[in-house]
Amino acid sequence: MLAINPINLKVELIEHIVAGELLKNALKGKKFKNIKEFNDFITNFLKNSKISDLPADTRFPGFFSSLADHSLSTSAIAVPLALELRKRGIDFSLEYSGRFAEILKEEDSLKEIVRCAALLHDIGKQPPMQHDERTRKYVREILELAGFGEIAGEIALCASRHHYRWGKIGEYKPETKLEWVIAIADKVSVADRMISLDERTTEVCNWIRQKLNNLIEPEDGEKIEKLIKYLEKKEISEELGFLIPLNPREVDRRIFNLKEVFGVDPELGVLCLEIAGIQKFINASDFRKYISGASVLLENVLREVGDMLANTISPESVIYAKGGSLLAIIPASYYNEIREKILNYFKNRTLIVKPKLPSRFRYRLYEFKYGPKFFLDSQSEPSIKRRNFGEIVSRTLSFLEVEEEIGNSVVIPVGEICKYCYEFKAEEYLGEENERICKRCHLVVEEHKITKELFLFTLDLEKVEVGESSKISNELFQKIVKRFEEKTKNSRVIAELKFKGLRKVKFRSVPTWNYLGRQHFFGRDEGTYDIVFIKGDGDNFGKVKEAASSITLFKWISKTLDDVIEGSIVESFSEILVKMLELAKLHKWDSEEIELEIPFDIVFVGGDDFLVLLDPAFVFTFVEKFRKNVQKILGSKKDRFEKEIHEALSMFPLGVSMGIAIVKNRVPIKATIEVLNEMVGIAKIKSKEDKRPFGGEIYVYMQKFDQIPTKDEIEKQKKYTSFPMDGEEFQRFVKDLKFFVEKEAQPNWLERVFGKRMPESKEDACIELLFKMVRMKNDERYEILQKLYEMHGKFLSADVKYYHIDLADSIKILTENLNKNLIREAVKILLGG
C-alpha cells in the first residue's frame, strides 16, 4: 500500500499490516496503573512506532495522511467535544449501566474513556474494508491485555461505531451519544481532501496518474481524472462531493445538524496563543546569559502552558506548542478558566511578559471541517479554496490581542537600576556574585544556568558513545548530541584520534560569547575575534498551514515544517562537532583526554525562525548541511513537478531566508540583531524573485562587519557584494572559494584587485583587471585574475555582481587565525573535499 507525504509527495511502499497487531505486540509485559497511563502509552506509541508510517486510508486521498495523525486528531476533537457536551448538561452515563455508567459520571474518567476510544477507533486498519469489525475485536483484546477487561466491551463498541454515512446500519452505526462523539470527531478530523486546489494540484494529480497508475486502484484513478477535469475545465461530478467542498451541507448533513444527535449544538474553541513582545523581552540586555536564558524561559513557559492544557483537556488537544506560539482545541465553555491559568503562568514565570489570546475563538463543528461560516455562504472560487481547518487557525490568529502594555513606567534612581537591562529596579543578588539585578533578569539568568551552563558531554573513543548526555536538559541539544553520536559510529576520524593516543574527548559550552570564534584553532586568550550571528525565517510556511484542509493534515504539515528548521539545525551543528574532531587530529595533545569548546550556541528556534551563533570558520559547513537537509525534505527547486516516486519535491514553493552577520565578539548584540532583521529581509526579496513553484531552497545574505553593524553599512556594501544568493549560487561560491584558498590568494590583495576596494564603475574594474592580467601573464597569480574575470562574467552584464570583497572576507575568517602550516589541511576540513 501507498503512504504519501502531503507536502513533498515522497512515496513509501508499505506492507499491509494491521495496526492492532503492532500495538498488541508492544503491550506484552506492560502494566498500567490506570487508563490515563494506558492512553499516554498509546499516544506515545502512535507517534513513535511503525503506525506513524501507515496511511490513514489506502484509497485516494486517504494515503496523503497518517493513520497515527488521524487517530491523534480524532482524540483532539472528541475529548473537548465530550467535555463541552457535559458542561452543557449531557449525561453520557444515562445510556449505560453498571460500572461503565459510574465511570462516565466523573469528568476525568469520561475524558480518558473518550481518549481511549478515539485513539483506538481505527486500530483495525489496514485495509479499510471491514476495519470497524476488526477494530472492535482488537480494542477488546488490547484492553484485556492491558488489564482493563471490565470495560473492554463498551469501549470496543464505542471505538468501532464511528461510521454513519453510506447507508451504514446495524452493529456498526453509532447509537449512544458517546458513540456519536467519536463518530463526529472522526468525520471532522478525516483528511478526505487534498491540501490545495489550484494549478499545482493539477500537476501533482497528473504526476500521480503517470507514476503511480499501477500502484493505485482503478476507482482511485477515476477519482483523480475527475478532479483534474474539475481543476482544468471546472467540470462538476457527483464523485467530487468530498474531494472538493462545493456543497458540504448536502454531502455531510449530520455535521451541520448536531442538535438532532445531542439535543444541543456544541461549540469548540480554537485556542491560539502568541507571546507578546517576545523580541523585546529577549533583546532587553546585551548579556549572553540574559539573551540565552530569556529565549529558554519563554519556551519553557509555553511548554508548561501546553502541559496544563494536556492535563485539563488531553495531550492530543495541544496541536502545537513551540517557538512562541501555541495551538489547542478546547471546550468553548472552558475558555475563561483556561485563560486565567495562562495569564497566571506568564505572570509568575516571567513577571512582565503577556500572552496574546484570541477575542474570538468559538466555532461550530462543521467549521472545523469546512472553514469559517462566511466561506460557506459564498460559492466563489476563492471561498471554496478556503473551506478548510487552516483558515480557522488563520482567522483566530487575526483576533489575538493583549490586555496590558509590556513595560514599567516607574522612575528608578540611577544607582538602583538593573545593570543587565537598565529597565527595572535591581532587587536581587545574582548567585554568589556581589551584583544586584532586577527580578526579571534574575529569573532569566537562573533559567540559563539550568539549561545552558550544564551543556557538556564526553565522547568515549573506545566505545564510540556519548556519556553524560542525560544531564543535558535542553531537548534540541539532546537531539544534536544524539545525531553527533550516530555520525561518529562510522567516522574514520575516531580511529585517527585513537592512533594519536586519545581516548576521550569532552565537549563543553563556552562560558561567554566573547570566547566564541576561536574554537577552530583552539585559541585561549582575551582578544577580539569574529563571531557569526545567523537569523533564519521560513518562506511561505504560514501559507502552507493555511491550506491544510483538516486538522490531521495541519499536524503533518507542522511536523514537516518543524523538521525543515529544527532538523536542519541538528544536522548542521552535529556536523560541526564532527569537524571539531577532524581539526583536533591536526594537533599534538599531551593527554589521553582532551576538552574542546562547543563552537556554537542557540538563542532560539521557533516554528519557522531561528537565531544561532557560531565560530565563523564553520559558517560554510552550517549553510551547506542546512541546505542539504532542507532539500532532503522538500526537494530542489523546479519549474515542473517532475520526480521519481521515492524522491521528495514540495508541491509548494518553500524555503528559508537567512541573514548572516560576521561581527566582532564584543559588539552590542541589540544592534547586531536589528541588522540581522534587515539582512533576512534582503534574503527574502531574493526568495520572492525565485518563481519556481515546486521544491525548497535557502536564500542567504552574508556580510562581514569590522565595526558595529549598521543598516548604513549594509546599504554601502550592496553594490559591491555578490549577496544575496540562493543555495545553488552559494554552493558555487564555496567551490570558487576553495580555488582561491588553494592558490593562496591573499585577502588584502583581493580586496584591491580592481585598484580600489570599491571601484567607481564596472568599466574601471574591468580595465584594472585586464591590465593586471597582461602584466602578470607569467605570474602565479595570473590564474587567480583569470578566475575573477570569468566569475564577473567578463563584465559584459549591465549589472555586475562583485565577488572580490566577499571572497576576501571569507578567506579571512577561514585562515587568519590558523597556523600557516595547518591552513591547507584545516580549510580542506572546513570546506570539505
Instruction: With cut-offs at 50, 70 and 90, classify the pLDDT of residue 166.
Output: low
Measure the CA–CA gap between 233 and 227, rounded to whole angstroms.
Answer: 10
Q: Please give the tally of structural domains in the chain.
A: 5
Q: For 741-766, write each residue's pLDDT tens digit.
A: 999 999 999 999 998 888 888 898 89
Q: At 16, is the secondary structure helix, strand, or coil?
A: coil
Residue 644 shares a structural domain with residue 563: yes
Rounded average pLDDT over 166-186: 84
Cross-strand pairs, 664: 530
Helix intervals (H) in 10-66: 19-27, 35-48
Confidence of residue 406 (pLDDT cuts 50, 70, 90): very low
Q: What pLDDT, on a 0 to 100 scale, did the predictor assign at position 76?
A: 98
pLDDT at 442 (0 to 100): 85
User: In this structure, is residue 108 part of a structural domain?
Assistant: yes
pLDDT at 833: 63
φ and ψ at residue 286, rounded to 5 degrees: -95, 0
Cα separations in angstroms, 281 against 292, 354, 788: 11, 10, 46
The reported pLDDT for the residue numbered 197 is 74
For residue 597, name the pLDDT band (cuts at 50, 70, 90): very high
- Torsion over CA: 374, 378, 381, 382 (sign): negative
In this structure, of 261-270, 285-294, 444-453, 536-545, the range with the lowest mean pLDDT score is 444-453
Instruction: Calculate mean pLDDT across residues 503-525.
Output: 85
**pLDDT (tens digit per residue) in 41-96:** 999 999 999 898 999 998 888 899 999 999 999 999 999 999 999 999 999 999 99
For residue 143, the surrounding DSSP H or E stretch is helix 131-146
According to the model, what pLDDT value does residue 194 have? 77
Examine the domain organization and report whether 716 and 625 are in the same domain: yes
Cβ distance 38 to 239 under 8 Å? no
Residue 805's pLDDT band (boundaries 50, 70, 90)?
A: very high
Reported as a single tens digit per residue, the pLDDT across 679-718 is: 999 999 999 999 999 999 999 999 999 999 999 999 999 8
Q: Highest-confidence range of 162-176, 226-240, 777-791, by mean pLDDT?
A: 777-791
Do 231 and 278 share a domain, yes or no? no
CATH number of the domain encompassing residue 292:
3.30.70
In a domain, residue 702? The reply is yes
Distance CA 572, CA 624 (A): 8
Q: What is the pLDDT of residues 18-45, one digit of tens each?
A: 999 999 999 998 999 999 999 999 999 9
211 and 276 assigned to the same domain: no
Among 213, 243, 273, identify where a domain stops: 243
Higher pLDDT, 178 or 428: 178
Do 231 and 347 lie in a common domain? no
383 assigned to some structural domain: yes
Relative to beta strand 504-509, strand 593-598 is parallel
28, with CB counted inside 10 A (0-12, 13-18, 19+), is exposed
Encode pLDDT of 444-487 as tens digits.
888 877 776 567 889 999 999 998 666 777 888 999 999 999 99
C-alpha distance from residue 830 to each of 66, 196, 200, 568, 619 (Å): 40, 42, 40, 18, 9
Tell me how far CA of residue 709 lies from CA of 294, 444, 703, in angstroms. Answer: 23, 26, 10
Helices (H) and strands (E) in the chain, counts: 34, 20
Taking the C-alpha atoms of residue 334 and residue 329, their distance in angstroms, rounded to an integer, is 11
Q: How confident is the model at residue 443 (pLDDT cuts 50, 70, 90)?
A: confident
Distance in angstroms (rounded) separating the CA atoms of residues 633 and 627:
10
- Residue 403 confidence (pLDDT): 66
The mean per-residue pLDDT over the stretch 382-409 comes to 81
Based on the fold, state whether residues 659 and 793 are members of the same structural domain.
no
Q: Clarify whether residues 540 and 633 are in a common domain.
A: yes
Identify the domain boundary among 720, 737, 762: 720
Give the CA dihedral 308, 311, 316, 321, nearest 10 degrees: 10
Checking if the pLDDT of 377 tops 90, the result is no
By CB atoms closer than 10 A (0-12, 13-18, 19+), residue 57 is: buried
Question: Does residue 190 contact residue 126 with C-beta atoms inside 8 Å?
Answer: no
Total residue length of the chain: 833
Geometric angle at alpha carbon 257, from 255 and 260, rounded to 5° = 120
- pLDDT of residue 351 exceeding 90, the answer is no
Q: Check residue 745 and give its pLDDT.
A: 92
Residue 742 is assigned to a structural domain of this protein: yes
The pLDDT assigned to 382 comes to 78
pLDDT beyond 60 at 276: yes
Q: What is the CATH number of the domain that holds 521?
A: 3.30.70.270
Contact 607, 673 (CB under 8 A): no
The pairing of beta strand 654-664 with beta strand 696-704 = parallel
Question: For residue 293, what pLDDT is reported?
Answer: 82
pLDDT confidence of residue 324 = 87
pLDDT, residue 239, reads 63
Please report whether residue 434 resides in a domain. no
User: What pLDDT, on a 0 to 100 scale, did the predictor assign at position 163?
Assistant: 79
Instruction: Specify if 102 maps to a domain.
Output: yes
Q: Looking at the structure, do residues 179 and 211 belong to the same domain, yes or no?
A: no
Q: In terms of domains, do 395 and 461 share one? A: no
Using a pLDDT cut of 90, give the percent of the chain over it.
61
What is the rounded average pLDDT of the residues 295-312? 93
DSSP H helical ranges for 237-350: 248-251, 259-262, 278-282, 288-312, 335-350
Q: Are residues 269 and 319 in the same domain?
A: yes
- Say what the pLDDT of residue 200 is: 83
Sorting pLDDT into bands at 50, 70 and 90, what band is 517?
confident
Instruction: Verify that 205 and 149 share a domain, yes or no.
Output: no
The number of angstroms, rounded, from the C-alpha of 348 to the middle of its chain's C-alpha atoms is: 28
The larger pLDDT score, comparing residue 605 to residue 170, is at: 605
Query: What's the mean pLDDT in 622-646?
Result: 97
pLDDT value at 594 more than 70: yes
How far are the Cα atoms of 290, 623, 696, 756 from residue 652, in angstroms, in the given order?
38, 22, 8, 44
Q: What is the DSSP string of 678-738?
A: HHHHHHHHHHHH----BSEEEEEEEEE-SSS--HHHHHHHGGG---SEEHHHHHHHHHHHH
Which pLDDT does position 145 carry in this prediction? 94
Do 266 and 236 lie in one domain? The reply is no
Cell numbers for 314: 488531553
pLDDT tens readout for residues 313-328: 999 999 999 888 999 9
Domain end residue (candidates: 670, 700, 720): 720
Residue 81 domain boundaries: 2-189
Is the peptide bond prior to 126 cis by the omega test (within 30 degrees of 0)? yes
Distance CA 541, CA 561 (A): 7
Among 192-196, 233-237, 333-337, 378-382, the range scoring the smallest mean pLDDT is 233-237
Are the C-beta atoms of residues 340 and 623 closer than 8 Å to each other? Answer: no
Q: Which residue has the cell 506509541?
A: 45
pTM score > 0.85 for this model? yes
Give yes or no for a contact between 268 and 84, defined as CB atoms under 8 angstroms apart. Answer: yes
